[in-house]
Amino acid sequence: MRLATRQTLSLTVRALLALWRQPWFVAITLVQPMIWLLLFGALFKKVVEIPGFHGGSYLHFLTPGVVVMSALFAAGWNGMGLIDLMNRGIMDRFLVTPVWRGALVGASCIHAAVVILIQTVVIIGVAFAAGTSFSAPTVVVMLVLPVLLGGAVAALSNAMALVTRQEESLIGAVQFVVLPASFLSSGMMASNLLPGWIHDVARFNPVNWTVTAVRSSDWSLIGEHAGLLLALMLVCAWVATRAFRVYQRAV
Amino acid sequence: MEFAIEAEGLVKTYPKGVRALDGVTFSVERGTVFGLLGPNGAGKSTTVKILTTLTEPDEGRAVVAGHDVVREPLRVRQSIGVVGQKHGIDPEATGIENLKLQGHLYGMPRREVAARAQELLERFGLADAQKRLVRTYSGGMQRKLDVALGLLHRPHVLFLDEPTTGLDPEARADMWNEMEQLAGEEGVSVLLTTHYLEEADRLAAQLAIVDRGRIVAAGTPDALKSELRGDALVVELGASDDGRALAAVATAEGVREPSLDGRILRARADEGARAIPTVLALLEAEGIPVVAATVARPSLDDVYLRHTGRTFGAADAEEEQQ
């Protein structure tokens, strides 16, 4: 157990040092959320006047949606790091050491979590600067829950990378999943204004669990959704550790 | 544990139906350097992948450092060091960071990792470069760091998969010197794969020649060469042959195994210096122009030709085309 922890930490340090040496990576991932927040937010400013929105500004409403969508994208791209390791032969070197496969997945998830935290802090900062504000507990929930969701998605992205071993496949999968998953939730639009079928689908959408928890002030609901996301993350991490077997059969 | 590696009947077929290994059997004595020699695509790397637990064989079994590669992969991993064909080093990290991560993955105590890393950096002349990002290293330096990573945890068995491929001649000679010391100083058993005849000849105490997923010959380099009896004759013809040259040479006394590869005519003779005038006279009588003729002691290339029916260079080029 101690060895597994140490392996995870060492691999995390490697990933974070690489991130530190290429800070533009985070900068690039912030371009899209800024467009959503500032342009999309301005364009649809007046939707809050539709009956069904409970007052406030659209920017205030939209911010959690943008935070969660950005977390999805950042986590989705996480598997690219693994493909890079495979192409450079580093993955094969790791796999012939006694490294625990879970440590490789764990390090990827922590790396994704750090990227998501940085993104979220910047997005919340910009939202504040643009004139909206959130209570301290809401900010905490907005920092923690997207990380749990991101951990799950990062693990799946890793699994996908191990199975397909191709950047193209991963790019396709991320594009195919992230936007639909974001729109099939109350991220952009008040829950009671969603079309009936989207409303139904959204109940089973982890993106929606995250967004509704961030907008809620009901701690039992927040706790329940956090628990669901945590469970999802553990299941996805387990799937990712199994994916190493598929990779090793193919090399 | 008498043998460092025992491989028995290894078979591996890849999804597209490519049979990479077709029953590979060999064993490596402890403390020796064993060479797997073969052209690109012969199955050397697949053999290494199985023996290092990266992938599993479809059939056959292998024991490395006393442990079965399929049933006890973790034990095998703890006992082996691997220097892969691709650089397994992280170019976006420094030399020392690469070494430290490696040590931590093996669970070596921190202090030991630091001491051993410095020892190896000194030994491979990388101490001054240890805080630089690896992508600024030369090819030779990267290879040395690769070997240092493989040796860090003092493995019992070291795998060197094409360790000098892509290096310039100077860096290659440098690596050869390092590798010659390995078996002696570190007391490790080494499995070396290579498609350089000279490398196998110089470094390996025992050798197996791999071709199309099978081992076609095995023994010490000298024993393999002496099996061939006699010298190698190589005659370069002035024009492509229509079969007359081959037929003419076949009639020469004391000349065996004539073969033709484009404009290159090869044969064996007990006493090459005596055979050459006879061969040249026969060719001249047929009116076949000769550009050059040489006599040489048998090389591993001749051994390869003898067992596979093609020269090493031709096999290598063939595989690369595919």
Q: Are B84 and A89 an interchain contact pair (Cβ–Cβ within 8 Å)?
A: yes
Q: Are B15 and A250 an interchain contact pair (Cβ–Cβ within 8 Å)?
A: yes
8 Å CB contact between B2 and B159:
no
- Angle value at C-alpha B67, between B62 and B72, nearest 5 degrees: 95
Q: Are residues B90 and B184 both part of a single domain?
A: yes
Say how far apart CA B141 and CA B204 lie, in whole Å: 23
Contacting residues of A for B149, CB less than 8 Å apart: 93
CA-based nearest distance A160→chain B, Å? 19
DSSP, collapsed to helix, strand or coil, labels residue B266 as strand
Domain termination site, one of B166, B194, B221? B221
Whether the CB of B96 is below 8 Å from some CB of chain A: the reply is no
Q: Which residue has the tokens 């059997």?
A: B25
Q: Are B52 and A13 an interchain contact pair (Cβ–Cβ within 8 Å)?
A: no
Q: Are B104 and A10 an interchain contact pair (Cβ–Cβ within 8 Å)?
A: yes
Whether the CB of B35 is below 8 Å from some CB of chain A: the reply is no
Condensed to tens digits (0 to 9), the pLDDT of residues A15-45 reads 999 999 988 888 888 999 999 999 999 898 8
Cα nearest neighbour of B135 on chain A: A88
Query: 10 Å Cβ neighbour count for B8?
Result: 15
pLDDT given at position B320: 62
Neighbouring residues of B185: CB distance < 8 A, sequence distance ≥ 6: none
Q: Are A251 and B104 an interchain contact pair (Cβ–Cβ within 8 Å)?
A: no
* Counted domains in chain A: 1
Per-residue pLDDT of chain B (322 residues; tens, 9 = 90+): 579 999 999 999 987 778 899 999 999 999 889 999 988 888 999 999 999 999 999 999 999 999 999 999 999 999 999 998 777 899 999 999 999 999 999 999 999 999 999 999 999 999 999 999 999 999 889 999 999 999 999 999 999 999 888 888 888 888 888 888 876 776 789 999 998 888 888 899 999 999 989 999 999 988 888 777 778 888 888 877 677 888 888 888 888 888 888 888 888 888 888 888 888 888 888 888 888 988 887 777 778 887 887 777 777 777 666 5
CATH number, domain of B39, equals 3.40.50.300
Whether the CB of B88 is below 8 Å from some CB of chain A: the reply is yes
**Is residue A117's pLDDT more than 70?**
yes
Neighbouring residues of B321: CB distance < 8 A, sequence distance ≥ 6: none
Domain that holds residue A87: 2-250
Proportion of chain B in helix, strand, coil states, percent, rounded to 5: 40, 30, 30
> What pTM does this model have?
0.86
Helix (H), strand (E), coil (C) string for A71-96: HHHHHHCHHHHHHHHHHCCHHHHHHC
Q: Are residues B42 and B166 both part of a single domain?
A: yes
Length of chain A counted residue by residue: 251
Q: Which two structure tokens, joined as six digits, stand for B259?
A: 């073969």
pLDDT given at position B248: 84
* Counted domains in chain B: 2
Q: Which two structure tokens, joined as six digits, stand for B307?
A: 């067992």
CA-based nearest distance B257→chain A, Å? 40
A251 band by pLDDT with thresholds 50, 70 and 90:
confident
Q: Are A250 and B107 an interchain contact pair (Cβ–Cβ within 8 Å)?
A: no
- Which residues in B242-279 are b (16+ Cβ under 10 Å) and which e? eeebeebbeebeebebbbbeeebbbbbbeebeebbebb
Among the partner residues A21, A90, A99, nearest to B88 by beta-carbon distance:
A90
8 Å CB contact between B126 and B119:
no
Whether the CB of B53 is below 8 Å from some CB of chain A: the reply is yes
pLDDT given at position B93: 95
Torsion-angle region of B65 (φ positive above 0: left; ψ -120 to 50: alpha; else: beta): left
8 Å CB contact between B38 and B45:
no
pLDDT given at position B319: 64
Q: Which amino acid is at A39?
A: L
Q: Are B77 and A249 an interchain contact pair (Cβ–Cβ within 8 Å)?
A: no
A128 phi/psi in degrees, rounded to 5: -60, -45
pLDDT given at position A85: 94
With CA atoms as reference, report the closest residue to B167 among B186, B131, B194. Answer: B194
Q: Are residues B247 and B202 both part of a single domain?
A: no
Q: Are residues B208 and B244 both part of a single domain?
A: no
Measured between alpha carbons, how far is residue A101 from residues A242, B58, B118 in Å?
A: 8, 23, 28
Q: Are residues B202 and B236 both part of a single domain?
A: no
CA-based nearest distance B13→chain A, Å? 10
Whether the CB of B149 is below 8 Å from some CB of chain A: the reply is yes
Mutate to test the interface with A, among B49, B82, B86, B162 (most CBs of A within 10 A): B86
8 Å CB contact between A127 and B85:
no
Q: Are residues B275 and B152 both part of a single domain?
A: no
pLDDT given at position B322: 57
Query: 10 Å Cβ neighbour count for A203?
Result: 11
Neighbouring residues of B70: CB distance < 8 A, sequence distance ≥ 6: B56, B57, B61, B62
Cα A209 to chain centroid, rounded:
13
- B312 belongs to a structural domain: no
- B79 belongs to a structural domain: yes
- B309 belongs to a structural domain: no
Cα B295 to chain centroid, rounded:
25
Domain that holds residue B287: 229-297
Q: Are B105 and A94 an interchain contact pair (Cβ–Cβ within 8 Å)?
A: yes
A145 band by pLDDT with thresholds 50, 70 and 90:
very high
**Is residue A157's pLDDT more than 90?**
yes
Measured between alpha carbons, how far is residue B89 from residues A86, B4, B34, B72 in Å?
A: 11, 26, 25, 26
- B318 belongs to a structural domain: no
Whether the CB of B110 is below 8 Å from some CB of chain A: the reply is no
- B315 belongs to a structural domain: no
Say how far apart CA B244 and CA A128 lie, in whole Å: 91
CATH number, domain of B290, equals 3.30.70.2470
Neighbouring residues of A57: CB distance < 8 A, sequence distance ≥ 6: A45, A48, A131, A132
Condensed to tens digits (0 to 9), the pLDDT of residues B36-64 reads 998 888 899 999 999 999 999 999 999 99
Say how far apart CA A62 and CA A32 lie, in whole Å: 14
Condensed to tens digits (0 to 9), the pLDDT of residues A93-107 reads 999 999 999 999 999
